[in-house]
Structure 1
């Protein structure tokens, strides 16, 4: 699935920041991986590399045979739209759109016709247990329900990889557990590869594999 080779990311400004340092990493098809580490250690930068949201200063980020670091901007946009789903700590829902309309925004770049978009979006909401809230605005939903909408939006295009950045960071403990259980069910049923950044060790322990990143260097967690 993923093969990272000697990946380095350096930010230059008033001072030079080595966010990633010579990272070598393999992530296999269907793995559920948690990434932990201190603030500023490189967790979000690594996730951005995996998602093609940023390019490394040097090295290779290969996903299913394509080096994301070397794709053209157009090809990279298409790869993200087709293969990658994203879930963030802040749900990033459009407040004036209903739940089903928010989910459907992920299908617009793929040119899916409106009727098919609506059908698939409703099915995605049903898969996360929110079919009956399809016509509700984000402001009418709880935090956990909004995160479920965000997960449905990530999954509606049927990606092979789901990347999650602190997906339970804004949730109470009970709702956190519900969201993690949902991700586990989707992982098992759909055969997704899931890579999740989390500060919460209780969440990380649920993963199949745990990585730690500190000072831009990745290691396997015990």
Structure 2
């Protein structure tokens, strides 16, 4: 699935240079459930962006199914993200004027899915995360946990192979956090997805089958 070799991401800040990632090597097999933990500013989100093809390394390679993401054109990279990778973020990133169903449908537009099929698949995805009766509600009519469920349905509706989650429960209370994690784990297991999550929550890391720590751009096993 993923093979990262010597991945470095360097930023110029003022007159200095900062290595957000400093020679990261990481292998992630298909179907893995991996948590990336570590302090704020340690490079966790940068690493997730590399895995999602949202950023390119300064040096090193990020292979997904043998394809080096850093060497793809922007058009091919965009297509790959649309087809293979689902994203869930701390901020739900829902369009406030669209209903839950319409928000989920937006993930299918770049894939050229016809309107009737988009509606059916969006409704099915929302039902799978427990929101079958909330299809017509706009985000302001939903709780934080429900909005995150919409975001999860939007990530899953295109049937990706990988689900990347960046602090997906960071804006939720503990009870809602546990509910959302139950949904994520259940959906990933049922769909056979590779699930990679960034979190600073030690509770979530402790309950993951595999966890690594990223500190000052350097990766270590947990």
TM-score range, shorter chain: over 0.9
**What SS does structure 1 have at the residue aligned with 2:71?**
coil
- 1:15-94 → structure 2 map (5 Å cutoff): 15-94=16-95
* Structure 2 residue aligned with 1:100: 101
**What SS does structure 2 have at the residue aligned with 1:16?**
strand
Q: Which runs of 5+ in 2 are unaligned?
A: none
Alignment partners' CA distance in 2, 1:24 and 1:128: 34
Alignment partners' CA distance in 2, 1:50 and 1:79: 12
**What SS does structure 2 have at the residue aligned with 1:132?**
coil
- The RMSD of aligned alpha carbons is 0.6
* Structure 1 residue aligned with 2:5: 5
Q: Which runs of 4+ in 1 moved over 2 A?
A: none
Shift in Å at residue 61 of structure 1? 0.2
Alignment partners' CA distance in 2, 1:187 and 1:115: 26
* Structure 2 residue aligned with 1:155: 156
Shift in Å at residue 163 of structure 1? 0.2
Mean Cα displacement is larger for which, 23-32 or 202-211? 202-211
Alignment partners' CA distance in 2, 1:60 and 1:202: 31
**What SS does structure 1 have at the residue aligned with 2:25?**
strand
Matched, 1:118 2:119: yes
Query: Which TM-score applies when normalising by structure 1?
Result: 0.98
**What SS does structure 1 have at the residue aligned with 2:49?**
helix
Alignment partners' CA distance in 2, 1:60 and 1:17: 19
Q: Which runs of 5+ in 1 are unaligned?
A: none
**What SS does structure 2 have at the residue aligned with 1:210?**
strand
**What SS does structure 1 have at the residue aligned with 2:160?**
coil
